[in-house]
Amino acid sequence: MTTGRVQVENGELAYEVRGEGDPVILLHGGILDSRMWDTEMTALARHHTAIRYDARGHGDSSTPAARFKHYEDLRELMTALGLPRASLVGLSGGGRIAADFALTYPDLVENLVLVATGLSAMVPKDPFVLEQTKKLEGAGARGDLPAAIECILRMWVDGPKRAPADVDLRVRSLCREMYTQTVVRHGLSGFTQMDELRAIERTGELTPRTLTLVGDLDSTDIAAIADQIESEARDARKLVVPGVAHMINLEKPAEFSRILLDFLACS
């Protein structure tokens, strides 16, 4: 196992590398950090070079000091690690970065796995997400961090079809810890300082071999994006995972690792 820090423009990224073989880069969800990939790092390292990193404004990476692009940070990470090409696995906001990267540098992407993904320039429409966003803004205005984190958990861990008590306590506790640490350390600078593409309007330009995974308990916005990618991207298929919302790999780690390894093995 190797850990280190890569210098990027006006900042740095903390990363970890394990194993040998075709490289696979894991991109964590927004406001989370690379700890969410513990199981996948172990599973992938048996046959691949597995790489995970904290996006700028998250985890142990630097807080943004100026405008930046997450997808350009990823390009600099690959250059620093000597990776001419890699498969990308991104969940939620990590999928959003991966899609922007694949649109900008399609020749550098071997396979694309988009898990409960968002896309840059998407506009939320799901009533539950809009309701929780309004509550989140109110909690933020009051300076009530625990209440704000609970709104994020309701949106992106529980989902619109479950109560908190229906979700594995360990998953909720881990996500609460990561959300809280990111906000305390970086605020929301990983979002407010970033520049993106408009991938929601360009899914037909995605050319890598692509797998999208969506939980059947996730928001309608995320389900709609999975459908759009499947129908418009050049080589994409969708898999619906039952009994789970947004955090597919955390709630069903064994099943997720099997799906991921099977997909990569067929490339």
Q: Could you list the pLDDT tens digit for every one of the 267 residues in the chain?
A: 899 999 999 999 999 999 999 999 999 999 999 999 999 999 999 999 999 999 999 999 999 999 999 999 999 999 999 999 999 999 999 999 999 999 999 999 999 999 999 999 999 999 999 999 999 999 999 999 999 999 999 999 999 999 999 999 999 999 999 999 999 999 988 889 999 999 999 999 999 999 999 999 999 999 999 999 999 999 999 999 999 999 999 999 999 999 999 999 987
| Domain of residue 166, residue span | 127-189
Whether 81 and 207 share a structural domain? yes
Centroid of chain to Cα 116 = 8
3-state DSSP assignment of residue 137:
helix
CB 217 within 8 A of CB 117: no
Domain stops at, among 168, 189, 210:
189
25: its two tokens: 């880069």
Same domain, 34 and 109: yes
Do both 109 and 209 map to the same domain? yes
Answer yes or no: do 36 and 92 share one domain. Answer: yes
203 has which bridge partners? none
Both tokens of 113, joined, read: 């796995």
Out of 189, 217, 239, pick the residue that ends a domain.
189
Same domain, 70 and 181: no
Maximum CA extent, the chain: 51
Task: Identify the domain boundary among 140, 159, 189.
Answer: 189
Query: Which of 252, 247, 235, 246 is CA-nearest to residue 112?
Result: 235
Alpha helix stretches (DSSP H) within the chain = 38-44, 70-80, 93-104, 127-142, 145-153, 169-186, 189-192, 220-232, 248-251, 253-265
Looking at the fold, whether 116 and 7 belong to one and the same domain comes out as yes
**With contact defined as beta carbons under 8 Å apart, do 175 and 247 qualify?**
yes
Q: What is the pLDDT of residue 190?
A: 83
Q: Residue 235's domain is classified under what CATH number? A: 3.40.50.1820
33 lies in the same domain as 135: no
**Cβ contacts of residue 224 below 8 Å, gap of 6+?**
none
Q: Are residues 138 and 216 in the same domain?
A: no
Nearest CA-CA partner of 80 in 143, 1, 165, 9: 9
In which order are the strands placed within the sheet that holds 209-215? 2-8, 11-18, 48-53, 22-27, 86-91, 109-115, 209-215, 236-241
Same domain? 146 vs 161: yes
Q: Are residues 84 and 40 in the same domain?
A: yes
**Residues 172 and 205 both lie in one domain:** no
Domain count, the chain: 2
- Long-range contacts, stretch 18-22, CB < 8 angstroms, 24+ apart: 18/42, 18/44, 18/45, 18/49, 18/50, 19/44, 19/45, 19/46, 19/47, 19/48, 19/49, 19/50, 20/48, 20/49, 21/47, 21/48, 21/49, 22/48, 22/49, 22/86, 22/87, 22/110, 22/264
> Do 111 and 65 reside in the same domain of the chain?
yes
Tell me which residue of 4, 6, 65, 60 sits closest to 28, measured CA to CA: 60
